[in-house]
Structure 1
């Protein structure tokens, strides 16, 4: 059964003394899936990634990656993974091209055309010494080395850090192409907008615990939207205050303003009892929805109750 999953964790836990890194993480990432691993800095995202790669040993629990044991099968596993760390460190005086040739050789050989194609897409000058590069250009080197051998699994920690908006869009296109080619992408981020157009699901971590696993579209279904309705005559706000999912109701004469969390149906049916002149509904902002859920939804502490 593990062959259907690129990543499996069971009660994966890491404590640094008394400080919690990640606690009882149980997660399944399907082969060929893009998973956005979301949470603010310090939530446990990087700890999880280091456990999957056997850069850290768990306090308890276990992980299986590409059907292999990260500790026992470390060398074989790492050849099948493209990893971009959150903090890049490139020692030495090599040019980007020299460094990428070294990485290619270490992986048993990579067609140089794959390197140059990626460098061209990311507008990366391979002749420049890496130590002289900006953070954004170093990030491009990191992305090329992660993608260039077309690995079965891409593990990317804050992958767009330092990239300008144009390059961020190019990166997201690369992720979509990787998914279309059957590769699995495990992408850590603290920015929902970064993954909402590429991820199949998002896993949300808070203070070292997994609090939700959801499909991106289901997160959108319960996004809070702003609604403004213009009636032909004044209306009573009390009529709308009691509706399920409707909040922040204000009425100014014939104009009703409110927020709707979830389905619009109760509000539409109540409004239909009056003559409606106009209605404006702002598209929900998934970033705001994520932040609202993440920081204020204490009732969703068990991922199994949150649409996993």
Structure 2
């Protein structure tokens, strides 16, 4: 497998303050790689190191097979970049500004700019100083995509976009991937990344604490469960449910006539189905996996280790074992007050 991006022991200090602590990851060519993390986690700093906007304190970076410090204009023309903080010249129209960018980035297919602007609902003939935040973001997306670069680096790309335009952006990302382009994007909102990404890296305090496929995240995600059953006591129902692997936070909601319980489930559902099959069920609700909740637990878990301690899957660190240790605890049953 070839890699469009790879880092090894990437470290960045600003003065005495270290903001990236030995970051390792690799992005497969032709894939969509999403980095999520709270504000201040190091997402933008990582992207700027990849593009030689700032230089690492130590470590190794390769982008499209080259060291960004030595790639020069030739490498930059192969990349489309949307910064997290977009500053635009205000005295020109969007069309004029994009013509300037075209001269820098290289050839753009005839009609490509107008096609992208139409898809995003952007008026190219308005002066940029009159554009709203959302329309400025659209203009930034057009300049990133317009020359069909080999690599797209997009920092919080949906910021300021309304839901319909966000869906169009996701379609553009999927099309770029199908065209063989590589997309590296960041967000602090998992739901935005999971719609398009093949692989997700979770960044916290300048360290990657997990790298996982979206399907892998779903397998280990939190599901909320509620069911009602007859012919069993609240105590026995709670004990049965609490013995199922991955079941946590068991609560008895009602115990008159039919017993009603709620719980969370992490991991495979087959053991749960087998246990519930022994009951006389009246009602059962098993929600879709809550990836946001799982990731928030990774953010806040004090026991998360550095990526160097994690097991590996291919060239990427996998977060499965770490999630297990972060979530695992004694199951318990309690009666809701």
- TM-score when normalising by structure 2: 0.87
Aligned to 2:225: 227
Aligned to 1:248: 249
What is the 5 A alignment of 1:1-308?
Answer: 4-235=2-233, 236=236, 237-251=238-252, 252-253=254-255, 254-296=259-301, 298-302=303-307, 304-305=310-311, 307=318
Per the alignment, do residues 112 and 92 of structure 1 end up closer, same or farther by CA in structure 2, a change over 3 Å counting? farther
| Paired positions, count | 306
| Distance apart, 1:124 and its partner CA | 0.3
Q: Aligned partners of 1:138 and 1:234: how far apart in 2?
A: 61
Partner SS, residue 298 of structure 1: coil
Q: Aligned partners of 2:109 and 2:220: how far apart in 1?
A: 46
Runs of 4+ in 1 over 3 A off after TM superposition: none
Q: Aligned partners of 1:157 and 1:250: how far apart in 2?
A: 41
Q: What 5-or-longer segments of structure 2 have no aligned partner?
A: 312-316, 320-337
Residue deviations 1:160-212 (CA, integer Å, cap 9, x gap): 11111111111011000000000000001111111101100001110001111
Q: Aligned partners of 1:108 and 1:221: how far apart in 2?
A: 43
Q: Aligned partners of 2:21 and 2:113: how far apart in 1?
A: 38
Q: Which moved more, 1:243-252 or 1:19-28?
A: 243-252
Q: Is the 8 A contact 1:227 1:257 kept in 2?
A: yes
Question: What is the RMSD computed on CA atoms of the aligned residues?
Answer: 1.6
| Distance apart, 1:16 and its partner CA | 0.6
Partner SS, residue 144 of structure 1: helix
| Distance apart, 1:110 and its partner CA | 1.5
